[in-house]
Structure 1
């Protein structure tokens, strides 16, 4: 896991390793992270997009393979 922006602040870390069972989906991982880090991260994750090994995740049902990197990209405002 790599967190950026508000996700990094909500998780309290820029990155972490998470042990996953075979077949774990992005949605499953989001549920695990919410249980671990609480409501602040849950709110950020609900609005975030994800990159799985540098490829945009369009369906959160996609499986996260062992050793994969999932980036959490919260929405950002800018000019």
Structure 2
């Protein structure tokens, strides 16, 4: 997992590894992260976008294969 901007601030780390069961989804990962880091990150995750190995994923029920990277991108202001 890699966190950017406000997600990094809410998680308190830039990057971390998370162990999940083999059949996990993006939502499973997000639930685990919210439990690990608390309500500040949980709020960010509600509005965040995600990249799975560099590809945008909007479907939180998408499979998250073992060893894959998940980037958490909070909404950004500006242009």
TM-score exceeds 0.5: yes
Aligned partner of 1:19 in structure 2 is 19
In structure 2, stretches of 5+ residues that fail to align are none
Aligned partner of 2:52 in structure 1 is 52
Matched positions, count: 79
- After TM superposition, the runs of 4+ consecutive aligned structure 1 residues lying more than 2 A away are none
CA distance in 2, matches of 1:58, 1:39: 22
Give TM-score, length-normalised by structure 1.
0.97
Q: Deviation digits for residues 14-52 of structure 1, max 9, x if unmatched?
A: 000000101100111111111110000000000000000
In structure 1, stretches of 5+ residues that fail to align are none
Secondary structure, in 3 states, of the residue corresponding to 1:8?
Answer: helix
Residue 8 (structure 1) shift: 0.3
CA distance in 2, matches of 1:45, 1:5: 12
Secondary structure, in 3 states, of the residue corresponding to 1:51?
Answer: strand
